[in-house]
Structure 1
């Protein structure tokens, strides 16, 4: 097990814990490196570990009985993977697929359960984060149904940029189409429109965000709503 800093500033969820709770929690974490394309969990699979991404991020994907797949949320340095454990369940409802390689903190599910039972502050924080995730899931359902592909793509690029901590992303049209649940031709047209407006540069799967401020304006309101909710409920600790 690698030694860890007492305050890993790159996982904002853990940063919100009181110092004593955070220090105790980190003594049972190990540093791991998440690999692009790695599957952390499958639907109905048993949760063996919880993960707190640092400079990595993971897509949570709903998969129907056929080949249809849709990303329903994304977890990076703002959150954690393994939330069913706080409800007393050890079964994953979604596929967790690493989309951004990099470091993360990991803890065995059994140790996590002990910390959860012993730390009221951890319980309170993760209940707030669960509320944020519930909001994101409902927002994605409405966004997918009502909002145009171009606005949804802009939102997804912003979410990815936030978690990748970089303006440079590697995302193919085929991958984006799967994540957004649309045809590849729709992604091509949306990406061309954003590029024509000078918001991004796209070439053979490499995307560079050129103008973040205008990309936020081009995105549907769901992105700003998600940011406001996280800030109010997690960072500021306001009432839900």
Structure 2
């Protein structure tokens, strides 16, 4: 395995997200009652009463690549609800090696363990793809969560999707070849980002897959020669999704089926 990804607090001004300036937009559509709702699925699907209760506490933020949202064994102060971008939850060793265990897009949020009464977590949570979103103090959102209602079910569904990802990743990392795992990871990242272009270096891919960079280089080269991806200067473009799906292990289809079942189409 390789050394862990850069921590956002090592990048000046990046820890916790940069506040957006007045007038900057996150592209929030209106709900049926005329009130603006964020593009984040959970925030958009909350009841009107609960949404109104937290509206003034939601802070729009920029979420740049590499931003640290949560460090191991540190207090979870904020929850982050992306409207774009990609969040990665990574397991770390004492020596700093890492491997990714789950991805989060605008269907979810970072900091869910805080809602369950655990103020810290053992993993690292970073922005793996730049985007935008909202942050709110965990304690304020937890008050609404404990009231139950639709929000409780939304969080439970999100947790189920995360658990499906994590458990499938255990099997995948143990049993499947790097090329199949890489294809799965690229597809899953593109799904969560809602983009066929990903800003990634091979070194970062190696960190996420828990493999040597040279091994990932060979696997990426094979996918590129097959015409499934195009890799140039830290950017990977998925040019043949059907071909990439054929190269991916069954883990991608299992996880994708869970998301398709729990999330409405084009949510």
Aligned twin of 2:3: none
- Deviations, residues 150-208 of structure 1 (Å, cap 9, x unaligned): 11111111122123332222211111111100111111111111111111111232211
**Please, which of 146, 149, 152 is the counterpart of residue 123 of structure 1?**
152
| Secondary structure in 1 matching 2:110 | coil
Any stretches of 5+ residues in structure 1 without a counterpart?
A: none
Count of paired positions? 235
Aligned twin of 1:159: 188
Structure with greater proportional helix content: 1
**Is it true that 1:36 corresponds to 2:65 in the alignment?**
yes
The answer (yes or no) to whether the contact 1:129–1:234 under 8 Å persists in 2 is no
- Deviations, residues 62-97 of structure 1 (Å, cap 9, x unaligned): 101113210111111121111112321111221011
The answer (yes or no) to whether the contact 2:115–2:138 under 8 Å persists in 1 is no
Alpha-carbon distance in structure 1 between the residues aligned to 2:97 and 2:65: 21
Any stretches of 5+ residues in structure 2 without a counterpart?
A: 1-19, 30-35
* Aligned-residue offset at 1:20: 4.3
Aligned twin of 1:150: 179
Superposition RMSD in Å: 2.0
Alpha-carbon distance in structure 1 between the residues aligned to 2:37 and 2:121: 28
Aligned twin of 2:81: 52
**Is it true that 1:188 corresponds to 2:220 in the alignment?**
no
* Aligned-residue offset at 1:135: 1.7
| Secondary structure in 2 matching 1:159 | helix
Alpha-carbon distance in structure 2 between the residues aligned to 1:27 and 1:208: 39
**Please, which of 37, 48, 51 is the counterpart of residue 7 of structure 1?**
37
